[in-house]
Amino acid sequence: MTRALATLLALLWLPCAQAQNQFDGPTGKPYVYKTSAGKERKMELFFPPNHDPKSARVPGMILFHGGGWQGGHLSQFRAACAYFAKRGLVCATAEYQMLDKQGKAALPAGTSFKRVCVTDATSAIRWFKSNAAMLGMDPARVITGGGSAGGHISALATMNPALNDPKDPQDIDTKVVAYLWFNPAFATDDTKDPEIDILTHMNAGLVPSIVFFGDQDEWKKGWDIAHDKWKKLGVKDLQLHMAKGQKHSFFNKDPWRTVTLIAADEFLVKHGLLTGKSTLQAPASGESLIQAP
């Protein structure tokens, strides 16, 4: 290999390495929660220190990665899951089916490629709840959420009962007690397929939710429409926190990852799902979130 070629390959590899490093965090304990499209779908579990599943029944959290419903990896929320596990939750982050170009082409007219993502997320939540005793987790106190596409997926998996896998235990519901949404991608063109359109499935019964957005994020347009409808429905406990000058996925890297985790921690303490104070230190550089009215 010539020095010039080696240099070129190094330059091409560097952005990929940086993208992987921004999702640093310990690997959780792997579990297979289902098989879809002939492939095992996995989640990673993170447990509190000295956790005894035989006696513990702590709240649980399951988060879904982003990636435009076509990519991404569960490593996105490893650091968050590891942190909240140390704070006392049983945490999970799950992958899900995503259609390739051929799979999209085979879909009936009017059917969004996002449906399969939501269906697998529904299965993941059901698996999490149905195995609560084994995990030492309280199935009646499950928190969900995710980043970007993962935020959308978590919302539809819990709000639209139609996108079920018939092989799942139908006696296990997907109800949750809170949402953590990191710039959720609520697309304005989802109205083409009502099954994956958040506006079709929202109601006044939204559980307590915290949402993070950069004020330069183009995806915020879709969120603003949804947020306005929830407010008109009378939803009160919906916190929106803004990061000035930040774009999409700002929460993936420090200092903003630490800032958003501290705010999420405070939110969970407020609602009795955690106790005490965050063990994270606010960044010395002074970054902070602005809570929207």
Res 15: pLDDT: 35
Percentages helix, strand, coil for the chain (3-state, rounded to 5) are: 35, 20, 45
| Residues 6 or more apart whose Cβ sits within 8 Å of residue 89 | 48, 58, 59, 60, 61, 143, 273, 274
239: tokens are: 């916190």
The secondary structure of residue 214, as a DSSP letter, is E
List the 29-36 sheet strands across, edge first.
29-36, 39-46, 90-94, 58-64, 137-147, 178-182, 209-214, 238-243, 290-291
Q: pLDDT digit string (tens) for 69-118?
A: 999 999 999 999 999 999 999 999 999 999 999 999 999 999 999 999 99
- Please report where in the chains the tokens 């170009």 appear, as a residue: 101
The whole-angstrom separation of Cα 219 and Cα 190 is 13
> What separation in angstroms does the CA of 80 have from each of 67, 75, 261, 274?
17, 10, 7, 14
Q: pLDDT digit string (tens) for 199-209?
A: 999 999 999 99
Chain mean pLDDT for the chain: 92
Res 25: pLDDT: 86
Handedness of CA 77, 78, 83, 87 (dihedral sign): positive
Res 7: pLDDT: 34
| CA quadruple 225, 230, 231, 235: dihedral, nearest 10 | -160
Question: Beta strand 29-36 with 39-46: parallel, antiparallel or unpaired?
Answer: antiparallel
Q: Is the pLDDT of residue 11 over 80?
A: no
Work out the average pLDDT over 8-28: 50
Number of Cβ within 10 Å of residue 286's Cβ equals 8
Q: Is the pLDDT of residue 155 over 70?
A: yes
As its CATH architecture, domain 29-291 has 3-Layer(aba) Sandwich (3.40)
Res 24: pLDDT: 79
The whole-angstrom separation of Cα 151 and Cα 155 is 6
User: Which H or E run includes 210?
Assistant: strand 209-214
Q: Which residue, 37, 43, 14, 158, is CA-closest to 104?
A: 37
Q: pLDDT digit string (tens) for 51-71?
A: 999 999 999 999 999 999 999
Q: pLDDT digit string (tens) for 254-263?
A: 999 999 999 9
Q: Which residue, 165, 59, 153, 168, is CA-closest to 114?
A: 153
Res 293: pLDDT: 82
Q: pLDDT digit string (tens) for 222-251?
A: 999 999 999 999 999 999 999 999 999 999
| Residue type, position 241, single letter | H
Q: Is the pLDDT of residue 253 over 90?
A: yes
Quote the Cα angle for 277-55-136, to 5°: 70
Q: pLDDT digit string (tens) for 117-145?
A: 999 999 999 999 999 999 999 999 999 99
